[in-house]
Structure 1
Amino acid sequence: DLYKERLIVIDLPSHRQIFPQLNIDFNKRLAEIIKGKRKALATDYGFQKRWIINCMENFGTVLKTPNIILNKKGRFRNVPAVLVSAGPSLNDDIENIRYIKENKLAYIISVGSAINTLLYHNIYPDAVTSYDPKVDNQKVFAKVSEAGITEIPMIFGTSIGYETLNQYPGKKYHMITSQDTVASYYLKSENFEVLDIVRDAPSIAVVTLQLLYYMGFSPVILAGQNFAFRGEKRHSEGVYYSKEVTDSEIEKGLTVKDVYGNEILTNEVFNSMRLQMERFIKMTSGIEVINTTRGGAKIEGTEFIELDKLIEDRLREKVVEENWLEMDETRYDAEYLYDRMKTMNKEYEEAKRITKNYKSVLEKIRKLMKTRNLQELERTYVKLDEQLNKIEKNDFYRTFILPMNRVEYKLLTDNIDDFNKEKDPFRKAERVLKAFGDFITICSHDIEVVKPIYDRMNEAVMEYCGGIAK
C-alpha cells in the first residue's frame, strides 16, 4: 500500500549478490515511484476542493469568453513564440525580448510571475497565461490590476483561482484543464468539434507549452526557464514577492547539468517541472522547442541556442498580427447545456436522498452492533455498498463532490477489501462506521458549501441559454 507510512521490501540475499546492479536499479526506481505517488497524493489533497470550487465559480466567465484552443487551433503553424518564464536568467535577455517585441519577430507569451519582470522593464507581452488554483495567485497580477492595464490579454486555465479572474482588468480567453469536471459535464461545441483540454502540470510553463502546441506555434523559444537556482536567486528581478534561496534549501538541493554541461543546484519542485516538460516534448511531434536560458538546467528534447544568436540567424521577419486574438465568442451548444442543467438539478435532489439513506444505514449498523445482531449486521453492509454505488453513479456527486474528496474516496474504496478480511465482527463494524461515517460527513458538508455556487452556475446557464430556457 503506497499510501501507508512504511513499505518493507523483502528480497533474496542471493539475488542481491548475483544481480547487484539490477537490485540497486530496482530499489531506486521503486523509491521514485513511491515518491511520485505520495507527491501526487499531497497535490490532490491540497487542491482537490479548490479545483472544483474554482471551476464552478469560473463557469460564468467561461461561458462569456472564447475558448482559445477551439477558435485558434493550428492557426499559427510554424510561427515562432517566446515562452517567457521568471527564472533568474531572464535578466540576461530582457533587451533581446524587448527587441523581439518591438520588431514583432515572435509572439511573447508570459507565464506566471514573468509578467512582473516584463512590466518592471516596461515590456507588454502579447498575452499572459495562468492556471494556479491558489488564492495567492492573484498577487502575481496585482501590478497589472493596480495600474489598470487592459492591453494585456489573459489566457486562463478553467481551474484557475477565481479571485485572479475577478480582479484581472484585461481581456480573457479560456482553455479547459484536465481538473475541470464541470466543463466536461456541461459543455459541448455547437459545431461538434472536439473540446481539447490541457493536462494539469506542476508548472504553468508546461501547461502553456501544450497550449502553444495546439495553436501550431513552432519553434517555441524558452526564455528564463532555469528550472534551477542561480546563486541565491530563484526569480528574475521585478518579482517583488520572491524570496532568496535559503541555506536549508542549498543543503537539501539536487545537482543537475546545465545547458553548458556544468553542475548547478535545483530542488525537487523545479526538477519535477523540468521532467514533466521533458516528457511532454518527448511524446509530442511537430513542435521544435529551443532553450535560450543561459545557465539554466539542460532540458532534454530541446536545443540550446543563446537568444541573440537566434535573433541573428532565424528571427528576421515580422510575424506578429495586431489583433491576433480577435475572434468570435465561443458558441457552446446552448440546448445541450440547458438539458444538462435540468438533469443536474434532478441529480442534486437525488444526491440529497442518497446521502440521507446512507446515513440511515450507518445508524442501523450502529444499533445492530449494540444489540450484537451479527447476521443482520452482515446483510446491512450490503445495503451500505448499495448506497456507495448510488453515490458513484450520481452525476452531482461525480461532477462536484467526489472530485472535491478524491483522496478520501480513494482511501475508503482501497480499504473495503481490508474491512471484509477483518475477523472480529465488532472491530469490523467500528472500522466501517468510522471510515464510511467520516466520508459521508465531509461529503454532506461540501454539498452545503457548493450549493450557493451551484445556484450561481444555474443563473449563468439561464443567462447564456436565453430563449431556450423560456
Structure 2
Amino acid sequence: MSLYNDNIKFLKENYPYVKWDEEHELESNVHEICAINDRKNNVMLGVKVDNHIWSFGSCYDAEMAAEHWVNQFENVNYRTIFIIVGVGNGIYIRKLAEKYPENYIIVCEPDMELFVAYLETQNMKRDFSGKIFLAAGENADALYIELMYQVINYDNKKEIKYEILPNYQNVNEQLVLLYRKKYRDCVSRVIIKRNTIVVDEQTRAENQLRNMFYFYKKFSIGQLYDATEKITHQNRAAIVVAAGPSLDKNITELKKAQNKAFIIVVDTALKTVIKAGVKPDLAIMIDPEKDPSLFENEVIKNIPLCVSIYGNYRIISKHKGEVFFPTGESNLTEALMKKYNKGIYTVPTGGSVANNAFSIVGFMGFGTIILIGQDLAYPNGQIHTAEAYDDEKGIEASNSKYFEVEDIYGGKVYTESNMDSYRKWYEEQININPQIRVIDATEGGAKINGTEIMTLKEAISLTCENQDDIDYRSLIKPTETMFNEEQQEEIEQYFINIESQLSKLKKVLKDQEINYIQLEKMEIRNQQNESKYKRLVEKTSKTAKKLEENELMDFLQLYQNIVEYRVLDNMNDDQDKTLTESIKAAKGGKMICQTYIENIDTVKVKWHQLLIENHLIEE
C-alpha cells in the first residue's frame, strides 16, 4: 500500500480542497474492478460489465492509444480549456498535460470506487503534473460545479473541449449523462448572464455611476455576516420570501415566524408581506430596472435593504433604512476596500434576486433555510403574488418559450428557461452546502431536488416554535458605516480626481490602439519572426496588463459590454479561414480600444455632472 500512501500524500499537498478520508470504507461495491497489463507491461484498470471487461486503455499499447486520443483535439489555442470526466489509469490525463502544458485541464472522477482503485495502482504524481484541477473524493459533485463556474465564461465558452474518458460511458452511463447535463447548465447560465447584461447595459451603467456616491456612505454585507456571529444561529432558520403566486396561499402563516426565524423578503414580495402584518428583518433589491413603486410604502422604505451596485439608484437614493452593498462587484469598489483594508464580499447568484437572498442567509450562518413564494414556474398561468403588480396578466401557455417541468405534487407546471436556470442553481447550492437544511414550503411550483417539501405551517412548527425571540432588526443594525468620516472625505477627493485620471487613461488607450494596428499589419504580412514583432507583442502585453489593473476601466466597460461580446463572438467565429487567431485578436483589441476611447468622453461628462449634483465641486 506504499503507492496508495504516496498518492494520498500527494493528493493532500496539491489538492487540499478535495475532501478525502484515507480510511474511508466504501459502503458497497458497484463495480467488479480488474487490473490488466498491456503488452508493454503498463498496469491498466478495467471494469467487468455483463461478462465484458471495459479497459481504460489499449491492451496492446496504452501509451500509444492515449497519444492518439490526445491528437483528436483540433483548433487548440491558448484559451482552450479541457474538461475530462473520468480518471481511468491516469495515462490520458498525463498525455494531455504533456502536449498542452499551458492549458487548464479540469479532471472529474465522480466515481469513488474507481478513484480508490486509481490511487491503489497508479502514480498520481506522474499523471497530475501541469495546470490540472481535480474534482474527486467526497465533494466531487460540488467541486465539478465550482471549478466550471470559475473557468467558463462568455469569452471561452466555445473554446471548451469537453470529453468523456474512453470506455467510461460503458461503465458509468448515468453518471456521464448527469455530469454532461451539469456542464450544459453551466454554459447555458453563462449565455443567460450575457444576454441580461447586454439588454440592461445603459441602465446598469447609469446605476453604477450614481450608486458610487451612496456606496461609500453606506454599509457592507460583511457587516451582516459579522452581526449574526453574536448568536448561536446554526440551529435557527432563515426564511427567504420570493414573489411567486403560491405566496398568496400561505402568507398569513409567516407572521408566526416573526422573531423566531430571520425573514428576508425580495423586492416584489414586500407589498404582500407588509399587508399580511409581517415585519421583514431584511429586504433585497438587485434589479437595474426594478419598479420604484414597490418601495413607495413608508414601512418598506425603512426596512434594512441589501442592494447591488447595479440596482435601481432611484430606490437606493430614497431608502431610509440601512443599505448594505456587496463590496466586490466592481473593480472600483474592490479597489476602495483594499485601500482601507476592508473585507471584499460578493454574493453567489443564479441570476434571480431570490438566489442572492439564499446566498446571503447562507453566509450569515443559518443552519436551515425555508423557501416560500419560490414557484420558479407559473402555476395556473400566474406570474407573481397578487399584491405585486396591479392588473398583471398571466402567461400564454401556447407560447413556445414555456415548457413543462415536474411540480412539487408530482404533476406538471409551466416554466421558462431563466426560471429553470434559477431552479438548477438551487439544486447545485444544496449539493455544495450539505450542512444547510433547505425546506421548500412554497406549496406550489417547480420541484427543487434536494429540498424537504412541506407546508409553511409544518416548517414553522418544526424549526421555530421552540426558539427564543430575537430582535433581528436590532441585531443587524450596524453601529458605523463601512468607511469612517475621515475615509469618506479621502474617497470624495479621490472621486474629484477621477476626471484627470480618465484623461491619462485615454492617452494609454490611444497608445494601445496604435500597438494593435501595427500588430495587425505585421500579422497580415506574416512578419511574426522579426525582432520588431516580438518587441511589439511584449509592449502590447505589458500595456494590456496595465489597463486591466486600472480600476477606472470599470467605468469604460459600462457602455461597451455589447461591443466586447461582439468582439468575442468574432474571435470565436471560424467562418473566415483567412484570419488567424492573432489577426482576430489584434482586430478585436483595436475595436475595444476605440470604443473605450469614445466612452471616456461620455463618462467624464456624466461623472462631472454627478460631482456637481453631490456637491463635491461647484458648477
Which bin holds the TM-score, normalised by the shorter protein?
0.7 to 0.9
Q: CA deviation at 1:50?
A: 4.6
Q: CA deviation at 1:91?
A: 0.7
How far apart are the structure 2 equivalents of 1:424 and 1:261?
53
Q: CA deviation at 1:239?
A: 1.5
For residue 43 of structure 2, what is the aligned residue in structure 1? Answer: none
Q: Which amino acid aligns with 1:348?
A: L
Aligned: 1:175 with 2:328: no
For residue 312 of structure 1, what is the aligned residue in structure 2? Answer: 461
Q: Which amino acid aligns with 1:400?
A: F
Q: Provide, for residues 208-242 of structure 1, a one-character-per-residue CA deviation record: whole Å limited to 9, x for no partner.
A: 11111222223221111111111111211111154
Q: Which amino acid aligns with 1:319?
A: D
Q: CA deviation at 1:287?
A: 2.6
Q: CA deviation at 1:285?
A: 4.7
CA 1:424–1:67: 2 relative to 1, 3 Å: closer
Q: CA deviation at 1:292?
A: 0.5
Aligned: 1:144 with 2:295: yes
How far apart are the structure 2 equivalents of 1:210 and 1:114?
18
Q: Which has the higher helix share?
A: 1
Q: Provide, for residues 70-91 of structure 1, a one-character-per-residue CA deviation record: whole Å limited to 9, x for no partner.
A: 3425345233222111111101
In the TM superposition, 1:38-117 aligns within 5 A as 38-47=191-200, 50-51=203-204, 53-70=206-223, 71-72=226-227, 74-76=229-231, 77=233, 78-101=235-258, 104-117=259-272
Q: CA deviation at 1:156?
A: 1.5
How far apart are the structure 2 equivalents of 1:144 and 1:277?
27
Q: CA deviation at 1:274?
A: 0.9
How far apart are the structure 2 equivalents of 1:374 and 1:318?
75
Does the aligned pair in 2 maintain the 1:357–1:387 contact within 8 Å? no
CA 1:382–1:422: 2 relative to 1, 3 Å: farther
Q: CA deviation at 1:261?
A: 2.5
CA 1:417–1:166: 2 relative to 1, 3 Å: closer
SS of the residue aligned with 1:196? coil
How far apart are the structure 1 equivalents of 2:597 and 2:446?
47
For residue 336 of structure 2, what is the aligned residue in structure 1? Answer: 186
How far apart are the structure 1 equivalents of 2:189 and 2:260?
40
For residue 468 of structure 1, what is the aligned residue in structure 2? Answer: none
Identity over aligned residues, as a percent?
A: 19
Q: Which amino acid aligns with 1:90?
A: L
Q: Provide, for residues 331-358 of structure 1, a one-character-per-residue CA deviation record: whole Å limited to 9, x for no partner.
A: 4386696597699677534311122334
Q: CA deviation at 1:412?
A: 4.2
Does the aligned pair in 2 maintain the 1:108–1:127 contact within 8 Å? yes
Aligned: 1:157 with 2:313: no
How far apart are the structure 2 equivalents of 1:363 and 1:270?
44
Q: Give aligned pairs, total.
A: 446
Q: Provide, for residues 157-210 of structure 1, a one-character-per-residue CA deviation record: whole Å limited to 9, x for no partner.
A: 233122221233x313213165322211111486x5633221243111111111
Q: Which has the higher strand share?
A: 2
SS of the residue aligned with 1:246? coil
Q: Provide, for residues 281-323 of structure 1, a one-character-per-residue CA deviation record: whole Å limited to 9, x for no partner.
A: 2212543221101122222232112111233343224423152
How far apart are the structure 2 equivalents of 1:445 and 1:182?
20
CA 1:247–1:130: 2 relative to 1, 3 Å: same
Q: Which amino acid aligns with 1:56?
A: L
For residue 126 of structure 1, what is the aligned residue in structure 2? Answer: 281
CA 1:388–1:418: 2 relative to 1, 3 Å: farther
SS of the residue aligned with 2:240? strand
Q: CA deviation at 1:384?
A: 8.0
Q: Which amino acid aligns with 1:87?
A: G
SS of the residue aligned with 1:247? coil
Structure 2 unmatched ranges of 5 or more? 1-74, 76-153
CA 1:320–1:460: 2 relative to 1, 3 Å: farther
How far apart are the structure 1 equivalents of 2:304 and 2:402?
36
Does the aligned pair in 2 maintain the 1:189–1:195 contact within 8 Å? no
How far apart are the structure 2 equivalents of 1:381 and 1:42?
37
Does the aligned pair in 1 maintain the 2:513–2:594 contact within 8 Å? no
For residue 477 of structure 2, what is the aligned residue in structure 1? Answer: 326
How far apart are the structure 2 equivalents of 1:330 and 1:43?
31
Structure 1 unmatched ranges of 5 or more? 464-470
Aligned: 1:234 with 2:376: no
Aligned: 1:355 with 2:509: yes
Greater RCO, CA 8 A, separation 6+: 1
How far apart are the structure 1 equivalents of 2:378 and 2:236?
31
In the TM superposition, 1:458-469 aligns within 5 A as none
TM-score, reference length from structure 2: 0.60
How far apart are the structure 2 equivalents of 1:207 and 1:116?
19
Does the aligned pair in 2 maintain the 1:82–1:222 contact within 8 Å? yes
How far apart are the structure 2 equivalents of 1:314 and 1:219?
8
How far apart are the structure 2 equivalents of 1:66 and 1:5?
36
CA 1:52–1:386: 2 relative to 1, 3 Å: farther
CA 1:351–1:80: 2 relative to 1, 3 Å: same
Q: Which amino acid aligns with 2:331?
A: T
Does the aligned pair in 2 maintain the 1:56–1:454 contact within 8 Å? yes
For residue 449 of structure 1, what is the aligned residue in structure 2? Answer: 602
SS of the residue aligned with 2:446? coil
How far apart are the structure 2 equivalents of 1:432 and 1:155?
40
Q: CA RMSD in A?
A: 4.6
For residue 254 of structure 1, what is the aligned residue in structure 2? Answer: 403
Q: Does 83-92 or 119-128 show the bigger shift?
A: 119-128
Q: CA deviation at 1:416?
A: 6.8
Does the aligned pair in 1 maintain the 2:327–2:344 contact within 8 Å? no
Q: Which amino acid aligns with 2:455?
A: E
Q: Provide, for residues 86-136 of structure 1, a one-character-per-residue CA deviation record: whole Å limited to 9, x for no partner.
A: 1111011121013333xx33232211311132244454423211111x23x
Does the aligned pair in 2 maintain the 1:159–1:177 contact within 8 Å? no
CA 1:439–1:307: 2 relative to 1, 3 Å: same
In the TM superposition, 1:273-288 aligns within 5 A as 273-288=422-437
For residue 364 of structure 2, what is the aligned residue in structure 1? Answer: 215
Does the aligned pair in 2 maintain the 1:362–1:384 contact within 8 Å? no
SS of the residue aligned with 1:248? coil
Does the aligned pair in 1 maintain the 2:331–2:552 contact within 8 Å? no
SS of the residue aligned with 1:88? coil
